[in-house]
Amino acid sequence: MTTATKESLRTVKGRPQLFTSYAREMSIFNTRVKRNWVIVAIIAMAIIPFFLTRDWVALLTTVLIFAIGGIGLNILTGYAGQVSLGQAFFMGVGAYTAAVLGGEAQGKVIGLGLDMIIWLPLAGLVPALVAFVLAPLAARVRGLYLAILTLGLVFIGEHIFKEAKPITGGAGVGRAPAEPVFLGFNLFSNQTILGYRIDRFTVFYVACLVIFLVMAFGARNFVRSRFGRNFAAVRDRDVAAEVMGVSLLRTKTLAFTVSSFYAGISGALLSIVIGRISPETWNIFLSIDFLAVVFIGGLATISGSIMGAVFVVMLPKLVNTLTGFIPGFGGIGEGGLLNVFELQTIIFGLLIILFLILEPRGLYGLWLRLRNYFKAWPFSY
Amino acid sequence: MTDLIESLVRGLGLGGLYAVLGVSFVIVYRATGVINFATPALMILGAFFTGSFGNAIGLPFWLSVLLGMAVMAIIGMVIERIALRPMVGRPAFSAATVTVGVFIILLIVAGRLIGSELLTVNDPFGLNTVDVLGARLFTVDIARLVIALVAIGIVGLFLTRSRTGLAMRATAFDQETSLAQGINVGRMFGLSWGIAAAMAALAGALLTAGSSGVETTVALVALKALPVIILGGLDSIKGSVIAGLIIGIAESLTRTYQPIYAPWLGANFDVIVPYLIMIIVLMVRPYGLYGTKEVVRV
């Protein structure tokens, strides 16, 4: 960076939107307000679990994990424009990689019991490698063909998971996930710090938060790089991108690989929260959940994926609470109009449809509208 | 030898079923450029209506199938009007995601309607068999193939011979030009969804015939029509018939011979054979046997 651009990186007081250089505009925190609010949000996320009950903390942990997987899918679907229904498959590969390397051997099930510092990166790298091998195939097809191809992958993957009994425990049986022991420190055990007793779920939440922040900032940084611009070019018009010298094969391979890395990490962490993983976990409905995270949250925004994850994970809890007040709904059996699970699923489906029809930019779009309303207030019409 | 004949006929029956589902996908794809992921749920819902007409009102099988198809055609048109029409002009994958939303809603609705009681479609075939060359063939497999071919034939005739069919083909070819020629393009979209939903309902009735009852768990069988349309070509009805039969036979032969010759592939390997075929096709010939090769321009 030359001195001239360094000079232009300074902000002008009272003019947050005045960018005097491209580097300034493209930086992660291009306004001071954004930076401050992100810091506040991170501090809030770090403090909040200490005031909540155990099941809420577990739910928030799931939110973080879904956000990681959602960001991964958003890199592929939102930024590079390749719709994939195969997220569940790559999550499964990640979870089983982690379980084999970091889990304990039980009976015929393999488990090496290695440290998290080994299994966590590999839980991302092995799915990424699988995706890299499959990518030339995926790069040949576009749009909906890729969705169908990855759908097939989920079914084939489910079959392999069911049959590879030494790795997965087999259908209906399952196996224990990896042990989150990081450099000898168990991240899923009760701790006592300065006389305070900290629940194991809270400890694991904090660990997931750290991983999530690294992954989220990594993704945000990645998509504003040269590769991110290549993705956008391929998404907007692949033929034009190729004419401009962007290699389609290389770009799609990269998007597919990076996305699967995120999926793998997400799958490995999710398996720990679930507690025991069976091959049926990684089915088409999990993929649909992640598609919902991306589409409800907003395509091609990292913060949108986080909002989407909050929404998708919290929705069942919300519906569960609300149904207590509405007659005709609720209960878990056959009685009433719909039970809680059915109501959740229907609302989930409706929201996917409504967001796509009414606000294609998703929750992020709603946030933009809200922000612009107050920005222009009192002349917001 | 009898093994071979039996599994070939079972494969043809299965293939007829896949062909009907494939046609359902192809019709929606040709008209709107969208893969209809709601098809599995439409199929189950169709089976439910067929079963209800058969059991609750006591109509004969043929009539209840036709009524079930009619009801589903209306439901299909309503879905298109509410959920898909606003997506016209948006990226195809957004519209396809809308159909995923429709899928999970309809699947829950169907599960709720069916409830916990056993609901058969009251078919006359049951587990009856006929002996041909010493092989015991299920009549339901033969019926599946015949009914499927007749239904697809009628759809094909409608598309090629009737005025409305011509309008539908014109819409599939070029929407703007069709509009300029006075075709109500929106109505053609609705009509194609109606036909697709009716075909899905027929597939549901055929799938449930000869089985113990309607279940939502078999819905994902309909997704095996995706390998069929990939093999046959996304926009070809002829392709989906031939590909449906090929994939049905391949699956059935695998079911008969894989446990004997390749047991290491695991139980129920036949279920994923269509997807493996699909991956090979995508590698070798991405636009399928009869599909139109995509022409891209900037």
- Reported as a single tens digit per residue, the pLDDT across A40-81 is 999 999 999 988 988 899 999 999 999 999 999 999 999 998
Beta-carbon separation of B223 and A143 below 8 A: no
Q: Are B216 and B107 in contact (CB under 8 A)?
A: yes
Q: How confident is the model at residue A8 (pLDDT cuts 50, 70, 90)?
A: low
- Report the b/e string of B170-208 with b at 16+ CB within 10 A: bbbeebeebeeeebebeebbbbbbbbbbbbbbbbbbbbb
The answer to whether residue B287 neighbours chain A at the CB level (below 8 Å) is: no
Q: What is the ipTM of this complex?
A: 0.89
pLDDT of B36 over the 90 cut = yes
Which residues of chain A make contact with B222, given a CB cutoff of 8 A? none
Secondary structure (3-state) at B132: strand
Distance from CA of A161 to the nearest CA of B (A): 11
Parse chain A into domains and list their residue ranges: 49-304
Q: Which residues lie below 8 Å from residue B103, measured CB to CB, with a gap of 6+?
A: A349, B37, B38, B39, B40, B41
The answer to whether residue B275 neighbours chain A at the CB level (below 8 Å) is: yes
pLDDT of A330 over the 80 cut = no
Report the amino acid identity of residue B132. Answer: V
Distance, in Å, from the CA atom of B187 to the CA atom of A369, rounded to the nearest integer, reads: 34
Beta-carbon separation of B105 and A338 below 8 A: no
Which of A144, A288, A346 lies nearest to residue B108, judging by beta carbons?
A346
Max CA-CA distance within chain A? 72
The predicted pLDDT at position A334 comes to 52
Of A214-218, B17-21, B168-172, least confident by mean pLDDT is B168-172
pLDDT of B210 over the 90 cut = no
pLDDT of A335 over the 70 cut = no
The predicted pLDDT at position A63 comes to 96
The answer to whether residue B296 neighbours chain A at the CB level (below 8 Å) is: yes
Q: Are B198 and B69 in contact (CB under 8 A)?
A: yes
Q: Could you check whether the bond before residue A378 is cis, i.e. omega within 30 degrees of 0?
A: yes
Which residues of chain A make contact with B100, given a CB cutoff of 8 A? 288, 291, 352
Distance, in Å, from the CA atom of A262 to the CA atom of A213, rounded to the nearest integer, reads: 13
Q: How confident is the model at residue A247 (pLDDT cuts 50, 70, 90)?
A: very high
Of A118-122, A192-196, B41-45, B197-201, least confident by mean pLDDT is A192-196
Return the percentage of chain A with pLDDT > 70, whole number. 93
Nearest CA in chain A to B279: A149
Per-residue pLDDT tens digits for B136-152:
888 889 999 999 999 99
pTM: 0.91
Q: How confident is the model at residue A1 (pLDDT cuts 50, 70, 90)?
A: very low
Distance, in Å, from the CA atom of A305 to the CA atom of A364, rounded to the nearest integer, reads: 9
Which of B105, B272, B298 lies nearest to residue A346, judging by beta carbons?
B105
Secondary structure (3-state) at A86: coil
Distance, in Å, from the CA atom of A93 to the CA atom of B81, rounded to the nearest integer, reads: 40
Which residues of chain A make contact with B271, given a CB cutoff of 8 A? 155, 159
Per-residue pLDDT tens digits for B79-98:
999 999 999 888 888 899 99
The predicted pLDDT at position A33 comes to 82
Cβ atoms < 10 Å from Cβ of A21: 16
Q: What is the mean pLDDT of residues A269-277?
A: 92
Q: Which residues lie below 8 Å from residue A112, measured CB to CB, with a gap of 6+?
A: A100, A101, A102, A103, A105
On average, the pLDDT of chain A sits at 87
Parse chain B into domains and list their residue ranges: 2-222
Residue closest to B240 by CA, chosen among B8, B1, B6, B28 = B28
Looking at chain B from residue 85 to 104, which residues have their Cβ under 8 Å from any Cβ of chain A?
86-87, 90, 92-98, 100-104
pLDDT of A336 over the 70 cut = no
pLDDT of A3 over the 70 cut = no
